Amino acid sequence: MSIRTPRPNRRRRGRLLSAAAVACAAATAAAGLFALNTPEGAGTAAARPAAAQNAAAGNSAAAANAATLIWRDEFNRPAGTAPDSAKWNVEVNGDGGGNGELQYYTNRRDNLAHDGNGNMVITARKGNPGDYQCHYGRCQYTSGRMNTAGKFEHAYGRFEARIQIPTGQGIWPAFWMLGNDIGQVGWPACGEIDIMENIGSKPADVHGSLHGPGYSGGNPITGSYYHPQGWAFADTFHTFAVEWSPQSITWFVDGVAYQTFTPADTRGNPWVYDHPFFMILNVAVGGSWPGAPDAGTQFPQRMKIDYVRVYDLG
């Protein structure tokens, strides 16, 4: 299906979900890292102080021992093969995601493929070998995006991926989730959980956010996690996760809990994280938050995903 589900223009972070995906729904180590919440305007809720997260981290370790693995993709297929179609939908569009992004998401193997070394690789490239048309005219870049809509949707638990992110001005990798009722209620009423986002111009900084009614687009509930030495997250693999329960969502980097949000953080707006969500992995190029690539941005840029796993925490 080529019809898209309309969504409002989002000045930061969120990306448009194609109606094709909605239709499918219907049919490193922790040492040396620290958490820091950075105010980013009125939309930034106060994340719990790092010291207050120690108990959460300990509880997470205990929970992990009792957790039940309910879904996984280890990406162990041969080099050059497509994502497992039983688990993933590959999105194809150049609509800009509601953020003015510059890439065309293709189903080509040079944008989205296993590498034969246990990774799924999403590659952003400069150029347009397919003469693709984007919302602004002839596309300048290609990339990849895949989601689990209609194939795996789940409420609550631990959602985790081990990823080596790309870098560079204008590069925007993300591991995130949308509510499976987006086709019925739209965005942001469906809810969005951003497990990990980065803009390549700030390589030592990753973000975790919530978007919902009254706190979306440029005004999310959000916090950030920094590497204290300023080392780039792109230098090696890191594990990004959330642990989601009916009354809270906690974000982790390499096993360290750095923020928790609850219904008290929504500023009186609805807490819409009470139904199944599906997962999304993508690398955007450009857009209103990161800005366009510049002369210093090197292409291709690759996001390598070692695994994605989901646990029931009981």
Residues with active-site annotation: 192, 197
Shortest CA distance to 37 belongs to which of 251, 182, 231, 236?
251
Question: What gap in Å lies between CA 58 and CA 68, rounded to an integer?
Answer: 18
User: Is-cis flag, bond preceding 78, omega within 30?
Assistant: no
CA-to-CA distance for 196 and 159, rounded, in angstroms? 11
* 107: its two tokens: 């189903």
DSSP readout, 186-208?
Answer: -TTTT-EEEEEE--TTSTTEEEE
Type of residue numbered 169: Q
Strands 34-36 and 221-226: antiparallel
- What whole-number distance in Å separates Cα of residue 86 and Cα of residue 109? 17
Instruction: Give buried/exposed letters for 2-17 (b at 16+ CB in 10 A, else e).
Output: eeebebeebbbbbbbb
**Contact of 165 with 234, CB cutoff 8 Å:** yes
**Position 91, amino acid:** E
Taking each continuous run of H as one helix and of E as one strand, the counts in the chain are 3, 20
